Structure 1
Amino acid sequence: MTPGAAGAAGVAAAIVTAACLPPVIAWLRRRALLDQPNERSSHTDPTPRGGGIAVAIGMAAGTLAAVVAGDVDLVSSAGIGLSVGAVGAAAIGVIEDVFGVSPVGRLAAQSVVAGGVVVALWWRADLSGWLGHPVTVAAAIVWFVGLVNVVNFMDGINGITAVTVIVVGSYDIWLGWRSDEPLLIAGGAVAAGAALGFLPFNVPRARVFLGDSGSYLLGAWVAASSLVALVATRDPFVAGAPLTYYLCDAAITLVARLRSGEAVMTPHRAHAYQRRVQAGRSHPSVALEVGAVTVAAGAAGAVAELVPALEVTLAVVTLVATGAYVVQGRRTGEVT
């Protein structure tokens, strides 16, 4: 994919997302689809949820721009996989934002979407070796569902998911160029562009939240693109390195809550990034700090791709350093 085509896709996604947000916000307010502040939230004013609707439109526009440029084949296995994941997850999120969905129904729907994504990605791929093992296929489905929900859990302060997706999308652009996978380049450009278009409406003071429609959409896009990267590189660390912070914060917090006997399905403010806000940090400063940690993890993944002999060392250092940062953050602020 040419740099010009990737740039056009990203710009289209950003502009259309930003242009669609004002009418979407107005519609959400008319429907009274607002997140009300409570003791478990990190905001103080009723705020529309469902900004992901505009993000979805922007990403569709960016994808169309990439297709028109002639550099992306949406009927390839990777193209179908990304499309199924994004559309399916966004639909589940919109229904959740507007009508509500039971946890069991939501998990079942996400699992169906995940199965479609993995079948599409594995359909025409070279599945020689461990990549084609049934355990790997099952793990890919669990990975997709898990990451969609991780992004949803982690989207708890202004800007954090938009900043993270901008970094992950930029990494995907580089990795797509490195592995000669045009769809990874286009997907990274579109996701980063849409997140950039959304960011001014969410930071420093949120006029709208992504809602489940946005967090599921971006979570699915990130999950599907990481699987595309896995098929292209056959290297789990390189494919998922920029996701290290989100995975560590979610996993460490989950284990800590299980150990303390908490009901893990109930809302909370126990994530490391939330504790830092409780300690007096601003939402933008914490979001940018998480972005910096994500950049560092992505840099480790890039070096591992360029110098495979360093991969094990880089992976261990990245996990240990990120885990330590999360643990330190969880010790900050008031435990609620």
Structure 2
Amino acid sequence: MTPVLSIGPTLVACVLAAFVVSFASVRATIAYAHRRGMLDEPGRRRSHSIPTPRGGGIGIVLGALAGMPAGLLLLPVSPGAATVGAFSVATIAIAGIGWLDDHGSLPIKPRLLIQLAATLLLCVAVASSTASLWWALPLLLAGVWCVNLHNFMDGIDGLAAQQAVFFGAASAALAWSAGSPAIAGAGLAMAAASLGFWWFNRSPARIFMGDVGSATLGLMVFALSAMLWAWRTNLLWPALIFSSAFVIDATLTLLVRMLRGARWYTPHREHLYQWFVRRGSSHRRVALGYLAWNVLVCVPVAWIAFRYPAVAPVCFGATYVLGAAVWRTGKRYGLRRRERHVSA
């Protein structure tokens, strides 16, 4: 492996570039969104009370593109030029359709087609470095779901950006510990770009992420997870543990809506984080709750899964079972508070 001293300057440059570009871009986008009328108005299916500009996620995209591909290519143990190129093209494609949607709502079909095509490109590139190209098919399903679940989970101030900072930093620590500075650099660049946006999105938010940010963050989370898996299969388990808060909330909420016969693809406020806000918790307090799950549960369990690969699937299963129980308990708590409020 290249000595740490030679890795350091490149790593620092990628991270700083990601943060500076993101921070400057988000600040400029606030004024741009006001001029173009890109405002999210308050409503029954929204969790904010004043008109707020959207589209700030373009800063995350530009910052990530300034740091992640460079880190993946220039640092040791790179996933390869083909994978990095596919990742860059997919990021631009999904961010582009999201940016257009933030300017004016687009139909679902063209957005989904772009997501499928972009994610498939990345999946084929990743699968080509494994034993079989057929891995691209299950990767495609996981990738498209990851893109959309991050869109679903972007509904209150600071939450999605906070999760992206955590996942980027955690996956970077995982990759570094496993011996891949390239993936570690990409994770830190993603975290830095997300942090540059979070500064403006923390409660009370000055700007929202929009589809350009949330969907693209989902792709980045999937890309880092897939690269870790393709490099060392056992790294998938801790990576999935790091994503558990969002995956559990989005997946269980969608399944419940489908079982009830609801139009699951329409906007709603039935995710756990939305229930907490509806029952009187502040955006900041709810975001801290999700952060507590990440730090107190995900980090130690993922460390065990990394250190002892034989029990990694058990760690993964235990995390998701516990998370599902927490999700169910939280929903019941919200319903009881609603019943007391109505009876009063």
Normalising to structure 1: TM-score of the pair?
0.91
Amino acid at match of 2:96: A
Deviation at 1:332, TM superposition (A): 3.4
Structure 2 counterpart of 1:10: 15
Please identify, of 100-109 and 287-296, the stretch whose mean Cα deviation from structure 2 is larger.
287-296
- Compared with structure 1, are the counterparts of its residues 96 and 61 closer, same or farther at alpha carbon in structure 2 (3 Å cutoff)? same
Please identify, of 53-62 and 88-97, the stretch whose mean Cα deviation from structure 2 is larger.
53-62
Alignment of 1:321-332 (within 5 A): 321-332=322-333
SS in 1 for 2:243: helix
CA distance in 1, matches of 2:116, 2:145: 10
Are positions 1:249 and 2:249 aligned together? Answer: yes
Deviation at 1:265, TM superposition (A): 1.3
Q: Residues 275 and 332 of structure 1 are in contact (CA less than 8 Å); yes or no, is this contact kept in structure 2? A: no
Deviation at 1:66, TM superposition (A): 3.8
Deviation at 1:145, TM superposition (A): 0.6
CA distance in 2, matches of 1:279, 1:150: 23
- Compared with structure 1, are the counterparts of its residues 70 and 147 closer, same or farther at alpha carbon in structure 2 (3 Å cutoff)? closer
Please identify, of 281-290 and 33-42, the stretch whose mean Cα deviation from structure 2 is larger.
281-290
- Compared with structure 1, are the counterparts of its residues 224 and 66 closer, same or farther at alpha carbon in structure 2 (3 Å cutoff)? closer
CA distance in 2, matches of 1:332, 1:78: 45
Q: Residues 9 and 63 of structure 1 are in contact (CA less than 8 Å); yes or no, is this contact kept in structure 2? A: yes
Please identify, of 23-32 and 250-259, the stretch whose mean Cα deviation from structure 2 is larger.
250-259
CA distance in 2, matches of 1:266, 1:317: 31
Deviation at 1:294, TM superposition (A): 2.4
Amino acid at match of 2:198: L
- How much is the aligned-residue C-alpha RMSD, in angstroms? 2.2
Q: Residues 168 and 190 of structure 2 are in contact (CA less than 8 Å); yes or no, is this contact kept in structure 1? A: yes
- Compared with structure 1, are the counterparts of its residues 58 and 74 closer, same or farther at alpha carbon in structure 2 (3 Å cutoff)? farther
CA distance in 2, matches of 1:206, 1:282: 12
CA distance in 2, matches of 1:240, 1:81: 22
Structure 2 counterpart of 1:297: 298
Structure 2 counterpart of 1:79: 84
Deviation at 1:231, TM superposition (A): 0.4
Identity %: 32
Deviation at 1:12, TM superposition (A): 2.3
SS in 2 for 1:44: coil
Residues 63-100 of structure 1, C-alpha deviations (whole Å, 9 max, x = no match): 47647966586862332233133222111211211233
CA distance in 2, matches of 1:162, 1:274: 16
Amino acid at match of 1:323: A
SS in 1 for 2:114: helix
Deviation at 1:237, TM superposition (A): 1.6
Q: Residues 8 and 65 of structure 1 are in contact (CA less than 8 Å); yes or no, is this contact kept in structure 2? A: no
Q: Residues 65 and 88 of structure 2 are in contact (CA less than 8 Å); yes or no, is this contact kept in structure 1? A: no
Please identify, of 64-73 and 174-183, the stretch whose mean Cα deviation from structure 2 is larger.
64-73
CA distance in 2, matches of 1:158, 1:116: 32
CA distance in 1, matches of 2:90, 2:301: 27
Normalising to structure 2: TM-score of the pair?
0.89
Please identify, of 34-43 and 226-235, the stretch whose mean Cα deviation from structure 2 is larger.
226-235
- Compared with structure 1, are the counterparts of its residues 69 and 118 closer, same or farther at alpha carbon in structure 2 (3 Å cutoff)? closer
Structure 2 counterpart of 1:171: 170
Residues 7-65 of structure 1, C-alpha deviations (whole Å, 9 max, x = no match): 33222212221122222111111000111111000001111110011222222232476
Structure 1 counterpart of 2:342: none
Alignment of 1:47-196 (within 5 A): 47-63=52-68, 66=71, 76-123=81-128, 125=129, 127-128=130-131, 132=132, 134=134, 136-196=135-195
Structure 2 counterpart of 1:278: 278
Q: Residues 78 and 183 of structure 1 are in contact (CA less than 8 Å); yes or no, is this contact kept in structure 2? A: no
Are positions 1:318 and 2:319 aligned together? Answer: yes
Deviation at 1:149, TM superposition (A): 0.1
Structure 2 counterpart of 1:265: 265
Please identify, of 163-172 and 9-18, the stretch whose mean Cα deviation from structure 2 is larger.
9-18
Amino acid at match of 1:181: S
CA distance in 1, matches of 2:115, 2:136: 16
